[in-house]
């Protein structure tokens, strides 16, 4: 356990803000699932109870993360990174696919999503790599090598396929490189290459796979964007083009958020969620439930709470004692910001649907665990920004 002298340096205000998000999430998960009548679905009580159990597991992971100096944790980045890659390979071979992507490993009654842990592995590896080369960030070789660290798990995640998580890993890379001092033109080249790669993935299904060697054809077919993924991007600008198909999620989410008006319909009284019009209302579209039941006021309060967490996190990164701490904090904040922006954005139709949960709020054990570990790294950097005299 952490030394008491270190624990006194916790950012308690930040910790309380995160716990407030967790409690709000638990209430909204219960509200979103209490009237579930889908055949074979878990009862609402167990879903909320399971989320509470994952919160406790996440808090234990948080305490373990702040127990050791972040220098010690970073020195273990290689086995953590390799372990994450192994799990990503295992999930491709034996993973479960409840939502179209083979991204889960069943462990008893629990399901583990290795791609969530891969985010932490990439965060640690990038921070360890870049902190030793902070004075050489102007060299393209450093940028390319750091990109390789992120590219391998990104490829394995895309093979599941899980496009949203791949984007999160890329966001961690951009956040770390930007604060490490990489040149803007280097990041711009990578961004342009990323757009070109996306265009290639969009059109890969048009290639003749018969003319390719079997292993290459298999990888190409896996990496190519699926039809349902293309439809999600196509209906982003106009959901009414497919109101009962790909646009249904967005339309119902907008109806739910709009119907909340100023102060909402009240907790446990959201008709869109209670009548199950909103798909994935306890995971991907939890913010729609918040908007319907607590209105603009509750949604604004939730957004303000997240902005406070991000502000404190960025301040921790800027006040870190060394480049390693700064990069660890920057990567953690980048991960949380991207998740939050995309999740809320797709609920109000300013972002395409990518299936990313809202940190600390959405139902889901793996993401909650990864979020608490990232938060633990952030607090670790804050607690040890100055040397402790024993």
Given this model, what pLDDT does residue 42 score? 43
Top pLDDT among 231 and 53 is at 53
**For residue 320, is it within any domain?**
yes
Q: Of 35-49, 156-170, 250-264, which one has max mean pLDDT?
A: 156-170
- The values of phi and psi at residue 112, to 5°, are -110, 135
Task: Tell me how far apart the alpha carbons of residues 291 and 302 are, in angstroms, rounded to a whole number.
Answer: 10
- Specify whether the CB–CB gap between 125 and 131 falls below 8 A: no
Mean pLDDT of 269-281: 70
For residue 390, being part of any structural domain is answered with no
- How confident is the model over 187-192, as a mean pLDDT? 90
Is residue 59 predicted with pLDDT exceeding 70? yes
User: Is 50 inside a domain boundary?
Assistant: yes
Q: What mean pLDDT is predicted for residues 155-168?
A: 88
pLDDT at 1 over 80: no
Is residue 221 in a domain? yes
Number of compact structural domains in the chain: 1
Nearest to 227 by CA among 247, 208, 246: 246
Cβ(333)–Cβ(314) below 8 Å: yes
Averaged pLDDT of the chain? 83
Distance CA 96, CA 102 (A): 5
What's the predicted TM-score (pTM) here?
A: 0.88
Per-residue pLDDT at 162 = 84
Which domain does 359 fall in, by range? 4-36+43-379
Residue 41: pLDDT over 50? no
Domain membership of residue 360 (yes or no) is yes
| 369 vs 113: CA distance, rounded Å | 10
Other CB atoms closer than 10 Å to residue 258's CB: what's the count?
A: 14
Encode pLDDT of 304-334 as tens digits.
999 999 999 999 999 999 999 999 999 999 9
Report if residue 226 sits inside a domain.
yes
Mean pLDDT of 135-162: 90
Residue-wise pLDDT tens digits, 335-345: 999 999 999 99
Residue 212 lies in a domain: yes
Q: pLDDT tier at 148 (50, 70, 90 boundaries)?
A: very high
Per-residue confidence (pLDDT) for residue 40, from 0 to 100: 42
Evaluate if residue 163 carries a pLDDT over 60: yes
Domain contains 324: yes
Tell me the average pLDDT across 150-179.
90
Mean pLDDT of 199-219: 63
């Amino acid at each position: 356990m952490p030394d008491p002298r270190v624990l006194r340096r916790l950012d308690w205000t930040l910790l309380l803000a995160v716990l407030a998000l967790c409690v709000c999430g638990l209430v909204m998960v219960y509200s979103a699932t209490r009237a579930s009548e889908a055949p074979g679905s878990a009862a609402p009580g167990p879903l909320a109870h399971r989320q509470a159990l994952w919160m406790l597991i996440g808090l234990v992971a948080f305490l373990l993360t702040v127990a050791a100096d972040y220098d010690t944790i970073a020195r273990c980045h290689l086995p953590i990174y390799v372990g994450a890659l192994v799990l990503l390979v295992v999930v491709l071979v034996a993973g479960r696919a409840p939502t179209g992507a083979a991204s889960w490993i069943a462990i008893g009654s629990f399901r583990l999503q290795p791609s969530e842990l891969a985010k932490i592995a990439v965060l640690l590896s990038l921070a360890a790599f870049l902190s030793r080369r902070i004075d050489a960030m102007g060299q393209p070789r450093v940028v390319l090598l750091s990109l390789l660290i992120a590219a391998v798990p990104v490829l394995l995640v895309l093979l599941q396929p899980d496009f949203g998580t791949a984007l999160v890993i890329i966001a961690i890379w951009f956040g770390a490189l930007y604060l490490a001092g990489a040149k803007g033109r280097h990041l711009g080249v990578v961004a342009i290459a990323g757009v070109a790669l996306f265009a290639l993935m969009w059109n890969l299904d048009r290639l003749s796979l018969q003319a390719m060697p079997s292993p290459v054809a298999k990888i190409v077919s896996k990496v190519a964007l699926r039809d349902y993924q293309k439809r999600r991007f196509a209906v982003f600008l106009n959901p009414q083009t497919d109101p009962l198909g790909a646009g249904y999620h967005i339309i119902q989410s907008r109806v739910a958020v709009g119907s909340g008006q100023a102060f909402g319909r009240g907790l446990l009284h959201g008709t869109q969620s209670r009548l199950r019009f909103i798909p994935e209302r306890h995971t991907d579209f939890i913010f729609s439930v918040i908007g319907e039941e607590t209105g603009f006021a509750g949604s604004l309060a939730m957004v303000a709470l997240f902005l406070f967490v991000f502000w404190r996190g960025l301040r921790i990164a800027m006040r870190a004692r060394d480049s390693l701490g700064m990069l660890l904090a920057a990567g953690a904040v980048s991960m949380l910001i991207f998740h939050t922006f995309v999740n809320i954005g797709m609920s109000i139709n300013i972002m395409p649907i990518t299936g990313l949960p809202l940190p600390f709020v959405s139902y889901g054990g793996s993401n909650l665990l990864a979020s608490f570990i990232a938060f633990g790294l952030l607090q670790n950097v804050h607690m040890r920004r100055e040397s402790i005299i024993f």
